[in-house]
Amino acid sequence: VNEPNHFRRIVIASIVLSAIATPIVVAVIAPTLPPGKATDASSGQVFDNTVLFGLVTPIAATIVVYFAYSLIFFRHRAEGAQEGVAIQGDRRVQAWWLAVTSIIVIFLAAFGTVELADAGSGGGQGPDPAFKPSGKAMPVQVIAQQWEFTYRYPTYGGIETPHLELPVDQQIALHVTSLDVIHSFWAPRLGVKADANPGVDNIAYFKPEDERTFEIRCNELCGLWHGYMFDTGQIVSEAAFERWIHHQQRVFAPAAKVLPPYEKHYFPEPERRGG
């Protein structure tokens, strides 16, 4: 019995499927996926995901072809041989597989590190960030507590506001901290996420590039009303931001007098049991 050249068939079909699927995924699907282009951080994440999709799609196509082929052509039939071919292994295949997966892993790690070096990609980097943006950044403090976020603007007299507004096209340094348990500041559309730890100043950098409203959610289970710890923020123009912040300064002036001075973090009373 002449065996057909299974290997050549699978290779050709994989190449064809990859050649069709990869451009569609990379050019059409991946760039439109969240988090979108509202900040430099989220754009970076979309780019990152697109590259990863570009890498994964041909691998997935090859595996799909391999299984489709094997499950059909290597199935048991009533006629012909009842047992498979006793192949114990193949050193060349093993070596190739090892080489290819190793190269992919090294590429992934290098690529991820280079991307991360772009100001930390919007993730929380702790009190002493390893990756900083060039130029000055406007500090905004996020104070998490059970079960709400408040925001302090140290460059505007350290006032504390219940809502977050940010000026467009200006580098922001979020300083995230907590007064009680661990929370996490997540603005999905901005591509920004940083855990709020009590006693820790967790810094995340990003630059808004699009005027829009965005949603804020607590992303770390923080007790009873965790599901209700959400808020809406706004990215506005420079002038609108100035108007807004000066209005806030007036409104919260009486409160600002009794606020503790601006700190990197605040130690509260020892935790007591809540709900």
Partner 1 sequence: MNETATSAPLWRRLIGFNLLSGIVLLIVGFYVGWWLGHQIHAESLDFIDDTNQNDIALMFGYLFAVIGFLIGLGFARYPLTRIFGRQRTVFENEEGGVGRYFGLCTDHKVVGVQYLLGIGLFFFIAGLNAMLIRAELLRPSPQLFNAGNYLTLVSLHGTMMMGMMTSGVLGPFGNYFVPLMIGSRRMAFPRVESLTFWLLMAAGVILFSTIFFGGFPTGWTGYGPLNVQANYGFDSYIFFFALVGISMMLLGLNLITTIVTMRAPGLTWRRLPIFCWGALSTSILMVLAAPVLIATLLMVALDRGLQTSFFLPSAGGSPYLFQNLFWFFGHPEVYVLALPGMGILLEILPVFARKPLWGYRVAVAGLLGIMLLSFFVWQHHLFVSGLNAGLRPFYMFSTELISIPTGLVFLCGMATLWRARIRYTVPMLFCLAWFFNFFIGGVSGVFLSDVPSDVATHGSFFVMAHFHYTIMGGLVFTFFAAIYYWVPKMFGVMLNETLGKIHFWAMFIAFNSTFFPLFALGLMGMPRRVVTYPSHLQALNDWVSVSAFVLGASMLVFLFNVVYSLVFVREPAAANPWGSKSLEWQTPTPVPLHNFDRPPVIDSDPYEYGQPPPPTVPREAPAGAG
Which residues inside 74-93 make contact with partner 1, applying CB under 8 A?
74-77, 81-90, 93
Among 20, 68, 224, 255, binds partner 1 (CB under 8 A): 224
In terms of CB distance, is 55 or 245 closer to partner 1?
A: 55
Shortest distance, CB of residue 274 to partner 1, whole angstroms?
6
d(CA 176, CA 77) in angstroms, rounded, equals: 64
Q: What SS3 state is found at 150? A: strand
Q: Please tell me whether residue 94 binds partner 1 under the rule CB under 8 A.
A: yes
Shortest distance, CB of residue 3 to partner 1, whole angstroms?
8
In terms of CB distance, is 101 or 237 closer to partner 1?
A: 101
In terms of CB distance, is 108 or 255 closer to partner 1?
A: 108
Task: Answer whether 158's CB lies under 8 Å from 245's CB.
Answer: no
Task: Answer whether 147's CB lies under 8 Å from 228's CB.
Answer: yes
Shortest distance, CB of residue 248 to partner 1, whole angstroms?
26
Task: Answer whether 186's CB lies under 8 Å from 217's CB.
Answer: yes
Shortest distance, CB of residue 207 to partner 1, whole angstroms?
15
Tell me the CA end-to-end span of the chain in Å, nearest whole number.
75
- Contact code string over 134-173 relative to partner 1, x by CB under 8 A: ----------------------------------------
82: Cβ contacts below 8 Å, ≥ 6 apart: 76
Q: Please tell me whether residue 218 binds partner 1 under the rule CB under 8 A.
A: yes
Shortest distance, CB of residue 127 to partner 1, whole angstroms?
7
- Residue range at the interface with partner 1 (CB under 8 A); choices 21-29, 60-68, 154-162, 240-248: 60-68
Q: Please tell me whether residue 108 binds partner 1 under the rule CB under 8 A.
A: yes
Q: Please tell me whether residue 103 binds partner 1 under the rule CB under 8 A.
A: no
Shortest distance, CB of residue 136 to partner 1, whole angstroms?
21
Can you spell out the DSSP letters for 132-181?
A: --SS--EEEEEEEETTEEEEEEGGGTTEEESS-EEETTS-EEEEEEESSS
Q: Nearest-CA neighbor of 184 among 200, 198, 195?
A: 195
Q: Please tell me whether residue 113 binds partner 1 under the rule CB under 8 A.
A: yes
- Residue 73 structure tokens: 């052509």
Q: Which amino acid is at 248?
A: Q
Q: How far is CA 226 from CA 75, 145, 193, 219, 267, in A?
A: 52, 10, 16, 9, 21
